[in-house]
Every structure is written in structure tokens, then in C-alpha cells.
């Protein structure tokens, strides 16, 4: 009997040892995301003669980049983890956009001592200004990105969206200091190395920052060259940003200097060279949140010799009331005033195939006004 008991104990111990690695190998999966949809009233003034006949305003239901995120982590021991993320974007307003992994979607390894390396799609460089207006139920189109990450002709800096084909390294957080270094062999999305007689492209981003409980300072550099060159094929951009907190108040500032070139067999031509800056402020107390920013795009040096008025300014306000920790409603008012040659527009409004609408891409000299009531639920 004792031998049988001993054999049973040994068998149970062996089974436990064999099962342990299998248990450790299980990945944990978390599901999170947001539903964020608003009712917008968008209006243009100083209507361009080039615009097709139609109304100067429209009322619409607009998605504000709703998403569902699957986060996967496997603890492999010794401070090393396997990680992955699926960031699926969808459009609850019309359900016509499908359910695509077009967000920040990647796979990689994380070490508590060495940092994190991932491969996939990432938000890089754009949106670095400390503007919190769209962080809860403020309208996404009211964000300072509208001027900060575009040129006067509407060219987006760093795509003003996720960069594809990215190798990204994030350092550990060393007492507030952290840095990101990212490289893409093709930030344009379509490889053309094998068919180009001009060049191979690439893009890289360097983004160090230092953050404490009450303030932050950071810098981001972007350098992009598209495969095979072409119009607006080269981009160089630098952003300096930071903020300070004073109790319930937060005051930030950011300066963006960006240059865009066309690169063809005939040579390189500068098509945009401008500075934009913003001052965002916010205040929060209990369920009440106030956000605002003043943003300005200065004269574009590439167009100055021609006497073109390429300046623009944007003012935005939002009041957000938190119904709970996860649900909030917000009211946003924003205006953009363009110079006669400037075509700045609300963020995402220039893309009629995405979050904008037919006719919403702006034309030079037009001014824009947005009034939006937005509901946001996070899960």
C-alpha cells in the first residue's frame, strides 16, 4: 500500500511539473476600446469659386475613431514577455467601414530591463502636442492636429495616422526619461524598391521625453523618403512639446517645424516649409472638464516669394461631463480661419472616404466652423 501511495505521489508530482510550463505558456488576453460618435454641424464660409454647387453646411452623424483593442501578453519569466496587439477600427455611425485592423497593431517582445521591440503599425510623430480636447468626449475634428500636422495645401505630416511596416524600440522608463526609436523601410505602404529607377525609401522617428507627475518635456524628429520619389515624397519635421500642471489646470505648448519636398528625376523642389504652434489648456474638477486650444500655422516660406497668404489660425473649446468613469458626453465648438491660399481643415475632415463626408475636403481660402455633440463609452 505504501509503495502504491508513493508511486501515486511521484506520478502526481511529475504531472504537476509537466503541467507548470504549459500553464506558464498560456497568454492573457484583455479586451478594451471605445465607442465614440457625435452629431456634427459643419459649415464653411468664404466659399471657394472652385467648389462645386451645393450647400455651405451639413448636419451628420460622425464616428470619432471608435475601436476595439485586443491586448495579448505571455509571461515567459525572467522579466521577458511576448506581446501583441490588435487595434480594430470600426464606424458605428454607418457600419460601412468594416472591422479592420487599421489601428496600432503589432507583435513583439518586452523586457523589464532592456525595453520593448515591436513590428507592425504605429502612431509615430504626429499628434505630439499635449492637446487633450479629444481625449474624452471632445470632438476628434476639433484637435490641434488640424493645423499642427498638415501643410497649407493639405499634405499630412507622417501621414497624420499610423505608419505601416515599422520596427519600433521603446526604452524602459528610467525615472521619468523614456525614448522611442522607430524605422520603416516603406512608410508609404506600397513597396516599390524593385520597380524604381530613382531610389529606395525609408522613414525614421526619434522621440525622447521626460515626464514627472506635474510636467513633461519632449522632442520628436521625423524623416521620411517615399519609395520611387514623386510629389511630396520627402518630409522632415521637428516637434518640441511639453506641459505643466497646476492643481486642476494643465497648460501646454508645442512648436512644429515641417518641410516637404517633391523628389523626381528632374530634382528636388520644396513645396512646403512652415512652422505651426499651439497652446492647449484644460481644467478638470469632479465630473466637469473644460478643454481649449489656440493654434496657429505661420506663413509658409516656400510660398512667401509669390506673395501667397498661407497663414491660418484655429480656436477650439470643449466641455465634457463624465456620467461615470467610462461614459461621458461633450460639446465642442471650433473654428479655422484660412488665409486666401491656405486649405487647412478639421482633422479627419479632409478624407471623405474615412471620417469626413462628400464635399468636406477644404479648398484654399475657405473658413470652417464645427459644432459637435459627442457621446463616448470606454470599455
> Rounded to an integer, what distance in angstroms lies between the CA atom of residue 133 and that of residue 139?
7
260: cell is 516637404
- Give me the pLDDT at residue 149, please: 98
User: Is residue 1 situated within a structural domain?
Assistant: no
Q: Is residue 369 part of a domain?
A: yes
Name the pLDDT band for 18 (thresholds 50, 70, 90). very low
pLDDT at 313: 98
Residue 328, classified by CB atoms within 10 Å of its CB into exposed (0-12), middle (13-18) or buried (19+), is buried
Inside any domain, residue 38? yes
21 in a structural domain: no
Q: Which segment of 55-64, 207-216, 323-332, 357-366 scores lowest on mean pLDDT?
A: 357-366
Name which of 129, 103, 125, 276 is nearest 203 in CA terms: 125
Q: What distances in angstroms separate CA 173 from CA 104, 125, 159, 278, 367, one per listed residue? A: 21, 19, 28, 27, 43
Cα gap 107→377, rounded to integer Å: 27
Q: Confidence band (pLDDT; 50, 70, 90) for 87? A: very high
Please report the pLDDT score of residue 16 as a whole number: 39
11 found inside a domain:
no
CATH assignment at residue 123? 2.40.160.10
Contact of 354 with 347, CB cutoff 8 Å? no
User: Is the model's pLDDT at 20 over the cut of 90?
Assistant: no
Task: Compute the average pLDDT of residues 280-284.
Answer: 98
| Cell numbers given for 149 | 500636422
> pLDDT at position 5, please?
38
Q: What is the pLDDT of residues 338-371, one digit of tens each?
A: 999 999 999 999 877 667 787 888 899 999 999 9
Q: Is residue 234 part of a domain?
A: yes
> Can you tell me the distance from the alpha carbon of 245 to that of 261, in angstroms, rounded to the nearest whole number?
38
Q: Locate cell 493645423: which residue?
A: 147
**Sign of the dihedral through C-alpha 347, 351, 354, 356:** positive
pLDDT of residue 132: 98
Residue 41 — very low, low, confident or very high, per pLDDT cuts 50/70/90? very high
- The C-alpha cell at 233 is 515624397
Does 64 fall in a domain?
yes
How confident is the model at residue 25, as a pLDDT? 57
In the chain the beta strands, taken as DSSP E runs, fall at 28-45, 57-63, 67-75, 80-89, 106-111, 115-123, 162-170, 177-184, 202-211, 215-225, 230-246, 249-264, 267-285, 288-297, 312-322, 327-338, 367-378
Helix (H, G, I), strand (E, B) or coil at 195: helix
Output the nine-digit C-alpha cell for 53.
Answer: 454647387
pLDDT value of position 232:
86
Residue pair 91/130 in contact (Cβ under 8 Å)? The answer is: no
Instruction: Count the neighbouring beta carbons within 10 Å of the beta carbon of residue 176.
Output: 12
Does residue 119 carry a pLDDT above 60?
yes
Question: Domain total for the chain?
Answer: 1
- According to the model, what pLDDT value does residue 189 have? 72
In a domain, 239, yes or no: yes
Residue range(s) defining the domain that contains residue 70: 27-378
Radius of gyration of the chain (CA): 24
- pLDDT tens digits, 178-223: 999 999 998 877 777 888 777 889 999 999 999 999 999 999 999 9
Amino acid at each position: 500500500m505504501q509503495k502504491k501511495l508513493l508511486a501515486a505521489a511521484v506520478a502526481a508530482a511529475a504531472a504537476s511539473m509537466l503541467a507548470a510550463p504549459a500553464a506558464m505558456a498560456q497568454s492573457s488576453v484583455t479586451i478594451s476600446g471605445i465607442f465614440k460618435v457625435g452629431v456634427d454641424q459643419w459649415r464653411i464660409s468664404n466659399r471657394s469659386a472652385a467648389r462645386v454647387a451645393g450647400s455651405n453646411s451639413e448636419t451628420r452623424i460622425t464616428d470619432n475613431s471608435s475601436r476595439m483593442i485586443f491586448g495579448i501578453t505571455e509571461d515567459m519569466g525572467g522579466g521577458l514577455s511576448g506581446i501583441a496587439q490588435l487595434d480594430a477600427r470600426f464606424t458605428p455611425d454607418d457600419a460601412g467601414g468594416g472591422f479592420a485592423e487599421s489601428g496600432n497593431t503589432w507583435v513583439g517582445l518586452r523586457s523589464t530591463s532592456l525595453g520593448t521591440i515591436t513590428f507592425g503599425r504605429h502612431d509615430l510623430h504626429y499628434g505630439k502636442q499635449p492637446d487633450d480636447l479629444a481625449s474624452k468626449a471632445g470632438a476628434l475634428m476639433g484637435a490641434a492636429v488640424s493645423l499642427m500636422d498638415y501643410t497649407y495645401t493639405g499634405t499630412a505630416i507622417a501621414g497624420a495616422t499610423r505608419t505601416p511596416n515599422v520596427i519600433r524600440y521603446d526604452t524602459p522608463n528610467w525615472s521619468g526619461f523614456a525614448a522611442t526609436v522607430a524605422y520603416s523601410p516603406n512608410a508609404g505602404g506600397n513597396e516599390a524598391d524593385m520597380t524604381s529607377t530613382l531610389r529606395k525609401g525609408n522613414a525614421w522617428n526619434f522621440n525622447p521625453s521626460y515626464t514627472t507627475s506635474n510636467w513633461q518635456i519632449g522632442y520628436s524628429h521625423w524623416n521620411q523618403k517615399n519609395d520611387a520619389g514623386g510629389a511630396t515624397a520627402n518630409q522632415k519635421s521637428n516637434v518640441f512639446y511639453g506641459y505643466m500642471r497646476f492643481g486642476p489646470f494643465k497648460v501646454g505648448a508645442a512648436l512644429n517645424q515641417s518641410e516637404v519636398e517633391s523628389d523626381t528625376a528632374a530634382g528636388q523642389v520644396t513645396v512646403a516649409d512652415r512652422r505651426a504652434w499651439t497652446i492647449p489648456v484644460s481644467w478638470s474638477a469632479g465630473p466637469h472638464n473644460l478643454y481649449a486650444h489656440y493654434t496657429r500655422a505661420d506663413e509658409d516660406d516656400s510660398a512667401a516669394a509669390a506673395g501667397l497668404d498661407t497663414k491660418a489660425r484655429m480656436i477650439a473649446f470643449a466641455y465634457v461631463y463624465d456620467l461615470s468613469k467610462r461614459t461621458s458626453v461633450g460639446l465642442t465648438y471650433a473654428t479655422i480661419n484660412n488665409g486666401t491660399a491656405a486649405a487647412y481643415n478639421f482633422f479627419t475632415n479632409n478624407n471623405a472616404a474615412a471620417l469626413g463626408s462628400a464635399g468636406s475636403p477644404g479648398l484654399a481660402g475657405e473658413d470652417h466652423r464645427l459644432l459637435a455633440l459627442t457621446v463616448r463609452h470606454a470599455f
